[in-house]
Chains A and B, each alone.
Chain A
Amino acid sequence: MSRPLAGVRVLDFTIAQQGPHSMMMLAQMGAEVIRVDRSGPGAPPPRTPARDHHMVGFSFAHALGKRSIAVDVRRPEGREIVLRLAATADVVTSNFRPGVMEKLGLGFDEMRAANPRIAYVTGSGWGRLGPYPQRSSLDMAAQAAGGMVWLSGYEDRPPQPASCAIADQVGALTLCTAALAALVRADRSGEAVQVDTSLYGGGTALQAWEMNASSLAGRTVRSGDGHTVLRPRGAVWRAFEASDGWLTVACEDAPTFTRLCDVAGAPDLAGSYPDDEARASHLEAIEARLAGAFAARSVEEWLRALRARDVPAGRVQSFAEVLADPQARANGYVGRTRHPDFGEIDVAGLPILFERDPVSPPPPPRPGADTDALLAEVGYSDDGIGQLRDDGVI
């Protein structure tokens, strides 16, 4: 069976992480994603960071499987090229500050004129409505504004940022879903569709449950080493130290608690604290007993015993362990690709399986690698392409 987005063409003007990662997801789902790279005066020369650079992963993790055209869209000839490509595309995406695409003559109206069935998708920092659509944003600003920095960590300590660029990545996820919903709509209606989503909107959507809890309760308990909603319900929801490392246990109902207590050799606890209220008011004592039990055996022994009794649990793994984990490899969450500079490397794959069939992550493009082929496809002759190159448009 073909990949689900086979035959879908995307014109990708996005920068940073939110846009590029979302469009890479479309590429890995089978779409032909054409990344529009900068060309002309002021365009930074493409460069590969050193292998030991602290952000080396950023340079390719959002690009796998894309094609690339390098064009100066500020020139009329460059604008003509991208409008011709837009006429052949299903989706156009950008995530500049509101107004930039319009200034380039590439706003929704111009794109719709070029292609009356286009899904026109924008990502922004704060949303295009409201008092400050133009304010600049980056991951750490959006993490803070979205509330997760303040929610995370212990009550008596400063707010705690996430250990990954989560606002950017959730921005990518909401942008991906927005693009696909717009495409479904455009396909069904035969009309152009416009949609916007933002880092800020993604941040609130990420914590809908926790924020609704704050709203209903009129107060918030910071999550600390547990969870703001679940621990007040008496859930055993935290990490425990075993003899050779850490594991987490996620137990939020009475039947699971009974099985957990059995596994931990403390069946009396289940009898003493049979309901949510009793567990919630004695959670520290319960967890102290469990912690004492967990310290005696290895993580692997506990995981086997807990899973055999259907108690959710996980090993606290390092990134090195994740990269080597047979479970991650079996599902394509980690796979091998060929990087043009680094050779064969292990990378994160698309965590969406179709037909239960993991796909190897494709390699990233070199900027401008597909310029000539794409121009030929939309009607430029060899001479015309040569002229555009001589003029510095491509």
Chain B
Amino acid sequence: MAAALDGVRVLELLPTRHGAYATRMLADMGARVTVVEPPASSALAQARFEHELDRITYHSRKESVVLDIEREEALGALGALERLAAEADVVVRSVGEELAERLGIDEERLRAVNGPLVYAVCSGFGPRGPLAEAPGADLAAQAAGGYMARSGFEGDPPLPAGAAIASSTGAMYLCSGILAGLVRAGRSGVGGRVDVSLYGAQIGIQSWELDSQSVRGVVSPRIGRGHPDISDYTLCHVFEAKDGWITLAGMGSPRWEALCDLLGLAELKGQFMPYGDRSKWVVTMGDVLEILGEHFLLRTRAEWLEAFERVGVTAGSAQTHAEILGEAQARTNGYVTEMAHPTLGAITVVGSPYVFGGEPTTTPPAPPPPGADTERRLQEVGVSADEIAALRAKGVLG
């Protein structure tokens, strides 16, 4: 079977990690993605990913064109860019509205050369409102979105997630919006415009917790080792095992009783009822966590997971990255994969979360160095060899 997005062409302009990860996901699903990067000398050089880690994560399976569209004399470069835009189904842009207009890559300008285009925009705080042009970043969104104030333990400074979650989930929301635009473009010939911000994504991934706060009006405690809204009611916490850490993922009374039997704690059954009437609890949540904590220290994570699975208790092992990178379930589904890299050799990298038609996603090729595909891509969209030579003489190609 051809890849799901076979035949879809994406043009990405001056990327941030937010937009670049969305288009990487599209590339993994079969889209042909061309990223336009600035030259190293450009004032916009932060859109050029120099660390190979970043290129591997964000630009694998893409083609790279270096065009200097920032300088006044680079008008020829803009013409070349418009030809790339004319053949694309999707354009993704990661600079603000004012800069986009100054550079000539705003929606109006590109729609003039390609009406049905899906025109997608990444921003820090959204296209409307007082912060529409404010500079954004993952950590600014984690703060403003309410995540950091709830994370960590009471008394500690606000704590971010270990990963750049607003950026990654912003990419996933953007990917959804782009694909919805492609559905519309395919059915009605109108791609339209899509806007996703880091702030919006951070709010979106907390939808039900935020809705609870809205309806209850009660401020949840900081998360500690559980979940702010759940772990006062059921066992949804991190525990130490003999060789690392495990989590219990929440349970009702039947599973709690099974867990008590498993641990030889039958006397606790009637003293604590997860999700039940807390006024009838004989022991506190703190007592239960302490008692279970002592037991869990005695066996390994794998032993516990096997025992829990037998009695229907849902649990997880707090795997390290090294463990996940070598883990059979992740490997078999293509969530983790290998890459043959020209200088780093065979490396293990995160793959794709999608399995189409029962087949894991194919191994990604190494990312292109900046400008690896400049001439070939420009020729493909009809820029002549003479024009390319002239652009190169002006110093606007890389």
Contacts and interface: CB of A to CB of B under 8 A. Distances in A.
B143 A317 contact: yes
A161 interface: yes
Interface in A222-247: 222-223, 225-229, 233, 237-239, 241, 246-247
Contacts of B180: 4-5, 26, 29-30, 180, 352, 354
Contacts of B173: 173, 351-352
A305 interface: no
A159 B163 contact: no
A350 B205 CA distance: 10
Interface stretch (A35-43, A65-73, A77-85, A146-154): A146-154
B322 A148 contact: no
Given A149-B245, A327-B126, A144 B349 contact: no
Contact of B149 (A6, A317, A323): A317
A85 B147 CA distance: 40
Nearest to B186: A187
Contacts of A353: 126-128, 194-196, 200
B362 interface: no
Contact of B5 (A60, A181, A339): A181
A209 B349 CA distance: 9
A334 B227 contact: no
Given A25-B176, A327-B125, A174 B353 contact: yes
A220 B318 CA distance: 14
Contacts of B335: 127, 200-201, 204-205
Interface string B333-367: 10110000000100111111111111010000000
Interface stretch (A340-348, A366-374, A382-390): A340-348
Interface of A is mostly: mixed
B49 to A, nearest CB: 11
B358 A127 contact: no
Interface in A121-147: 126-132, 135-147
Given A149-B245, A161-B238, A239-B158, A327 B130 contact: yes
Contact of A143 (B58, B247, B328): B247
A268 interface: no
A164 B147 contact: yes
A336 to B, nearest CB: 10
A352 B22 CA distance: 13
Contact of A322 (B187, B210, B236, B329): B210
A222 B322 CA distance: 13
Nearest to A6: B184
Contacts of A238: 139, 160
A131 B147 CA distance: 35
A89 interface: no
B262 interface: no
A222 B245 CA distance: 15
B199 to A, nearest CB: 7
B253 interface: no
B137 A140 contact: no
A238 B148 CA distance: 11
Interface string A242-274: 000011111001010000000000000000000
Interface of B is mostly: mixed
Most buried by A among B46, B158, B246: B158
Contacts of B150: 163-164, 319
Contact of B216 (A51, A146, A318, A327): A51
B385 to A, nearest CB: 34
Interface in B190-213: 190, 192-197, 199-201, 203-213
Contacts, number: 552
Nearest to B54: A209
B114 interface: no
Q: How large is the interface on B (under 10, 10 to 19, 20 to 34, 35 or more residues)?
A: 35 or more
Interface string B229-251: 11011001110100001111110
Contact of B357 (A193, A229, A346): A193
B320 A140 contact: no
Given A151-B163, A174-B353, A198 B333 contact: yes
A379 interface: no
A4 to B, nearest CB: 4
Contacts of A311: 135
B205 A164 contact: yes
Most buried by B among A140, A206, A346: A140
B369 interface: no
A311 B137 CA distance: 9
Contacts of B211: 56-57, 60-61, 345, 347-348
Contacts of A7: 187
B355 A129 contact: yes
Contact of B179 (A184, A196, A207, A348): A184
Contacts of A159: 238, 245, 318
Interface in A4-57: 4-8, 17, 21, 25-26, 29-30, 51-57
Contacts of A213: 53
B118 to A, nearest CB: 9
B65 interface: no
A54 to B, nearest CB: 5
Contacts of B17: 209
B236 A253 contact: no
A357 B165 CA distance: 25
Contacts of B321: 147, 150-151, 207, 210-211, 214-215, 220
B25 interface: yes
Contacts of A247: 143
B332 to A, nearest CB: 4
A53 to B, nearest CB: 8
Contacts of A216: 52-53, 56, 344, 347
B47 to A, nearest CB: 11
Given A159-B245, A212-B350, A315-B144, A180 B5 contact: no
A342 to B, nearest CB: 6
Interface in B124-177: 124-131, 134-152, 157-165, 168-169, 172-177
Contacts of A246: 143, 148, 157-158
A207 B195 contact: no
Given A184-B5, A193-B4, A307-B134, A56 B325 contact: no
Contacts of B13: none
Contacts of B230: 54-55
Contacts of A62: 207-208
B139 A227 contact: yes
B104 interface: no
B139 A202 contact: no
Given A130-B333, A139-B250, 17 more contacts: A1-B192, A52-B216, A128-B355, A129-B358, A130-B331, A140-B237, A161-B238, A163-B227, A181-B354, A184-B179, A200-B330, A204-B324, A208-B21, A209-B21, A318-B146, A322-B145, A326-B129
Pairs A-B, 3 closest by C-beta atoms: A330-B129, A351-B200, A314-B140
